[in-house]
Amino acid sequence: MSGKEQDFIKEAFDSNWVVPMGPNVNGFEADLEAFVNNRFDNTPLTKKVVGLSAGTAAVHLALIGCGVGPGDEVLVQSFTFCASSHPITYLGATPVFIDSEKDTWNMDPDLLEEAINDRIAQTGKKPKAIIPVALYGMPYRIDRIMEIADRYGIPVIEDAAEGLGSRYNGQMLGTFGRYGVLSFNGNKMITTSGGGALICQDTEEAKEILFYATQARESYPYYQHEHIGYNYRMSNICAGIGRGQMTIIDDHIAHHKHVQELYCELLKDVDGITMHINPTPAFDSNFWLCTATLSPELKIKGQENAYKHIIDGAVGGAAGVTHAATTATTDCQPNANVEALRIALDAANIEARPLWKPMHRQPVYKNAPAYINGVSESLFAVGICLPAGPYVTDDDVRYIVETIKNNIQY
């Protein structure tokens, strides 16, 4: 933690603002608004931001803002973390999963339109919202997604939790749709230890979101509740950390991009390993995580022993893993060489992870409708995430790449 974060936190304690509101929350929201409204062409944007306790809370409140309720359907990217889809089920609605396109790894616009027409034909009504996800920071094809959404009159909730600072055609992700979701979890581009935010169209929408984020209290001198609200407001302490982080956000983004370039340079001559890169100049990923795919033909030392033993601890540093697995394998998992490389990197004190397992292959969603082309499952089988955080040095990247090379079996 830098001196800036400590200054803002000390100010909160000194002024006794140790609550889920206060000057740091207001200041952090203002800093975020200045950041996300900044376009390369200087065309002004006027989005408003509400600081919240988590990115998941932001998805939940955005769905409420779109009027999602029991019996509704929401179109959501399948290749993502569960926080994109779980809030749909919180509201008694049904997630309808959309597979990915090959170049961005994000929501396939052709499948999206196919799904809209099929859901209308099957249910007699339109889905209530569309949620594309900026997987590992990579922009979704938002121009086509917005064109389709606008044509059918369906609001878009951009899940840019991993894409803070990523741009499409010079515009920040999270500012195209009706709402934009941000996350400041401990592993994100900047962190408030835990926290998130929702980008809203205007002041009125932001006020409505804030109403639901603060227990939906009416303006009486006592607690009057006419709607169900939630305790989702960001704390003034966490916001103080965020204000300090905003002073170095550009440095963090630049560093992640530098690390990506270094991986690409050092791995360019390694047969069977391909880094995921921006498809065209319109895409400007923050490269929150640097990701690569391994050819099935690439042999990794020890891969014959992959999946032989049940994991007895948290994988990749994941917190909150309390349920012990009953089997070492599932019917949808990364290839043996991917798991063998993860194990080899872990033995060298390098944290690597598989890609997100597609939501349509998660047991909890086995009965959910899904529009599938096989892309996300094929990527999950061959993909791996490599370290890219602000403390990853050039020497670290060289060590990681050398470890990878040393574990290739020729």
Burial degree of 350 (CB within 10 A; 0-12, 13-18, 19+): middle
What average pLDDT does this structure show over 65-85? 97
- All structural domains of the chain, each given as residue ranges with its CATH number in brackets, are 3-248 (3.40.640.10), 250-406 (3.90.1150.10)
Q: Note the pTM of the prediction, 2 decimals.
A: 0.93
Q: Which residue has the tokens 């939790």?
A: 161
Sheet with 94-98, side-by-side order of all strands: 129-131, 73-77, 94-98, 370-371
- Please report which helix (H) or strand (E) contains residue 25, including its range: helix 23-36
Report the chain's C-alpha Rg in angstroms: 21
Q: Is the CB of residue 59 less than 8 Å from the CB of residue 83? A: yes
Dump pLDDT digits (tens) for 198-255: 999 999 999 999 999 999 999 999 999 999 999 999 998 888 888 999 999 999 999 9
Q: Looking at residue 98, what is its pLDDT?
A: 98
Dump pLDDT digits (tens) for 150-202: 999 999 999 999 999 999 999 999 999 999 999 999 888 888 888 999 999 99
* Residue whose C-alpha is closest to residue 228's, from 88, 87, 64: 64
CB atoms within 10 A of CB 381: 17
The 3-class secondary structure across 337-356, one letter per residue, is HHHHHHHHHHHCCCCCEECC
